[in-house]
Amino acid sequence: MDIYRPDRRSVLTAALTAVLVRGCAERTTIESLPPHHRIRPLEHGVFLPHGPQDGPAFTAMIGAAPRWMLLFRDWTHEVPPVAALDAVRAQGATPVLTWDPWHAPATGEVPADAAQQPAFALSRFAAGDHNHRISTWASALAAWGHDVVLRFAHEMNGTWYPWAAGVQGNTAEQYVRAWRHVHRVFAAAGATNVRWCWAPNVPALAPDTGGARLADCFPGQDVVDVLGLDGYNWGSSEPPLSWTTPEALFGPGLAQLRGLGARLPIMVTETASAEGHEPAQSKAEWITELFDYLLRQGDVLGVIWFHERKERDWSVDSSAAARTAYRRAVAKLH
């Protein structure tokens, strides 16, 4: 999740956009969808602060089981969270495992200098400093053998992580090299069950990339399976932040992702809204607008809600109205 306050692939036809679809086979299959005509339901997912153990309660609250479940692990973890991945699968969801090359702060409060971790500057990947950790994870996930979407080094276009372009002397070129290096190690380990998700933050709220464009940070469609996009409506309680509609929040980023010409599925990999504090600012209405907007985006496969009380009360049930709106929106997907 972004912590920067002011400014977070069977082919159907060769010409259409590729998307992941869930089939009866163990391995996720691939089909195609056009960008502006939806031919399969939008799928919903969730991040739960205590992990998949809270999945049944969340399902009971919103009336439908999530199809995707977001997890986070930093590089203090020597091996993947296989038990958590199994728990996600047991609930009928596909894990989206965010794998972040840093040592995350131990508390919820992130210090201003959290991105300054020289051990995780992108140059250290080229130097081979992290090869053992990468190989260990690659072998372990290959041995696990089930579908997992690996969201590696997300929000690289922000300023709040040590792998970001423009931070610690990092460049977009170094980011691409690091990504492709990690991907090669996984391929060599036979981790064909891993799907790679490249997920920037919405560009309008993450402008400082050391002069790099978002496209400059894209590793290439040969090493990416899903395009992700993170974005939050922070509300207007802390100027210069302002209430942002779903279309204004995600429209520019979706346009840039489509502009890559990669023909890959898109997922909103993190989103949520604050409660409004001014007239015409309703979180319940924002939730309805979000799902209505994304339903009109045929190449958007799914949306994952960040269900946690953190910098804001992002949770689905921050109010009875928000919870009701979310239940109704999800019910329309089925």
Residue 161 belongs to a domain:
yes
For residue 168, the Cα-to-chain-centroid distance in whole angstroms is 23
Sign of CA dihedral 1, 134, 192, 17: positive
Q: What is the pTM of this model?
A: 0.89
Are 158 and 202 within 8 A, CB to CB? Answer: no
Q: How many percent of the chain have pLDDT more than 90?
A: 75
Residue 300 belongs to a domain:
yes
- Does 68 score more than 50 pLDDT? yes
CATH number where 236 lies: 3.20.20.80
Residue in 212, 330, 232 with CA at minimum distance from that of residue 272: 232
Residue 12 belongs to a domain:
no
Residue 129 belongs to a domain:
yes
Residue 8 belongs to a domain:
no
What would the two tokens of residue 178 be? 């690091």
For residue 176, the Cα-to-chain-centroid distance in whole angstroms is 18
Domain count across the chain: 1
**E strand spans, the chain:** 17-21, 29-33, 43-47, 68-74, 94-100, 148-152, 194-198, 226-233, 266-273, 300-306
**Spatial CB neighbours of 260, under 8 Å, sequence gap ≥ 6:** 215, 218, 221, 227
Residue 196 belongs to a domain:
yes
Q: Which domain holds residue 146?
A: 17-331
Q: What is the pLDDT of residues 261-277, one digit of tens each?
A: 888 999 999 999 999 98
Residue 11 belongs to a domain:
no
What would the two tokens of residue 180 be? 């492709």
Cα separation, 253 vs 229, whole angstroms:
7
Residue 1 belongs to a domain:
no
Give me the mean pLDDT over the 126-143 stretch: 96
